[in-house]
């Protein structure tokens, strides 16, 4: 089956790129022919003149080269859509449209593109499904969109969501019965294509989603205390003050977590890859109020004690002294994984 996927990608964000990659990988493993609908949210951001010059310079930097290489190698795409009107005028030809995962149903993130993430383009005869689509909040706050979304969701043959809170919102606000499934990155128990060999590097890896002085200074001090090397797996170098010059490659981001002794992050996908590679970790609460997805996953795995409201609380609880017993965690994760695979397969069969 030819499948056109719509998700948030091409963001130079490790979680976004890896969930897109994992969805493509999962669909291929089921025998389908998936393509990414090649439209980018960041294209909607208008730059100043200085910003446009910076973008031109940045295009030729090692950071851009690394992400472009990843996209070319792993993400098959449709034609490039420069705006919404182009997508409406010439929608991709496919047997099925699929949306997900990440926060594709959070209008604060998708902004003026919000409607296309409810697959409001293309022929009505094309099958529409969602896999692990996330709203990203535990309470629906977007009443002005409710009526339109209600109509669009009833065109879907199957709806799945990444968090239980999202399942509740879909049922209570939109009258949609949805299954809760794992993020696509968690459908796999290994990423040998990125991590062919495993070895602990005596590192404390931290992943700040943006500038995060609290996280960075704390992790450097903690690494020294534990006799580990601190590694910022979102390290960025700039030139001319603001132009991004270099960053960690996606494959190296995965490697850093896979081979770490301990990981500290606020990131959902940072947590996901800790679980995949059975790493010891501490999760800091999200600063933007979008921590539902973290809390939901940790709760299902009986790991709610691994999320902390501050670095001071991490220091007080000393989670590095309480080893996570993956002999108990992995069977729980494997059960959720199998359920999610079964639901994904079923959506295409019915």
CATH, residue 15: 3.40.50
The reply to whether 132 and 223 lie within a common domain is no
pLDDT at 46 over 60: no
What does each C-alpha distance from 138 to 107, 162, 272, 343 come to in angstroms?
Answer: 14, 12, 20, 23
The confidence score (pLDDT) of residue 106 equals: 93
CA 246 to chain centre: 21
* Contact criterion met (CB below 8 Å) for 116 and 38: no
pLDDT band for 19, please (50, 70, 90 cuts). very high
The DSSP string of 280-330 is EEEEEPPSSS--HHHHHHHHHTT-GGGEESSHHHHHHH-GGGS---HHHHH
Q: Are strands 236-239 and 229-232 parallel, antiparallel or unpaired?
A: unpaired
**Cα R_g (the chain), whole angstroms:** 20
Question: pLDDT of 139-165, one tens digit each?
Answer: 999 999 999 999 999 999 999 999 999
* Contact criterion met (CB below 8 Å) for 204 and 226: yes
- Select from 233, 221, 226, 225 the least CA-distant residue to 202: 226
What is the number of other CB atoms lying within 10 angstroms of the CB of residue 22?
A: 23
The reply to whether 284 and 135 lie within a common domain is no
Q: What is the pTM of this model?
A: 0.94
- Is 197 a member of any domain? no
Give the range among 26-40, 44-58, 284-298 with minimum mean pLDDT: 44-58
The reply to whether 160 and 223 lie within a common domain is no
Query: Structurally, how many domains does the chain consist of?
Result: 2
Residues 6+ apart with CB under 8 A from 208: 215, 216, 232, 234, 265, 266
pLDDT at 271 over 90: yes
- Is 198 a member of any domain? no
Residue-number span of the structural domain to which 221 is assigned? 203-328
- How far apart are the C-alpha atoms of 19 and 32, rounded to whole Å? 17
- How far apart are the C-alpha atoms of 216 and 220, rounded to whole Å? 6
The reply to whether 218 and 313 lie within a common domain is yes
The reply to whether 146 and 108 lie within a common domain is yes
- How far apart are the C-alpha atoms of 39 and 244, rounded to whole Å? 22
């Amino acid at each position: 089956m030819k499948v056109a996927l719509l998700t948030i990608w091409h963001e130079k964000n490790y979680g976004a790129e890896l969930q897109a990659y994992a969805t493509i990988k999962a669909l291929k493993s089921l025998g389908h022919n998936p393509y990414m609908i090649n439209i980018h949210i960041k294209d909607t951001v208008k730059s100043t003149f200085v910003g446009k010059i910076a973008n031109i310079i940045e295009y030729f930097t090692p950071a851009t080269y690394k992400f472009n290489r990843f996209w070319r190698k792993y993400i098959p795409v449709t034609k490039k859509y420069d705006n919404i009107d182009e997508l409406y005028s010439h929608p991709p030809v496919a047997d099925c449209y699929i949306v997900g995962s990440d926060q594709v149903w959070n209008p604060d993130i998708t902004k003026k593109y919000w409607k296309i993430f409810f697959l409001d383009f293309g022929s009505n005869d094309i099958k529409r499904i969602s896999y692990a689509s996330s709203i990203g909040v535990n309470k629906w706050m977007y009443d002005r969109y409710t009526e339109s979304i209600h109509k669009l969701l009833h065109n879907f043959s199957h709806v799945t969501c990444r968090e239980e809170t999202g399942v509740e919102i879909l049922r209570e606000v939109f009258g949609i019965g949805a299954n809760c499934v794992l993020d696509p990155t968690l459908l796999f128990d290994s990423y040998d294509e990125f991590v062919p060999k495993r070895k602990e590097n005596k590192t404390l890896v931290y992943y700040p989603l943006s500038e995060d002085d609290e996280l960075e200074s704390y992790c450097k001090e903690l690494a020294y205390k534990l006799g580990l090397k601190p590694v910022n797996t979102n390290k960025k170098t700039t030139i001319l003050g603001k132009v991004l010059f270099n960053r960690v490659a996606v494959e190296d981001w995965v490697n850093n977590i896979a081979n770490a002794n301990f990981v500290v992050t606020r990131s959902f996908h940072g947590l996901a890859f800790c679980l995949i590679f059975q790493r010891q970790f501490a999760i800091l609460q999200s600063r933007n109020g979008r921590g539902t997805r973290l809390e939901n996953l940790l709760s299902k795995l009986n790991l709610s004690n691994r999320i902390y409201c501050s670095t001071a609380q991490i220091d007080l609880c000393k989670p590095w002294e309480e080893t996570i017993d993956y002999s108990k965690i992995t069977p729980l994760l494997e059960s959720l994984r199998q359920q999610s695979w079964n639901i994904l397969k079923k959506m295409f069969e019915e």
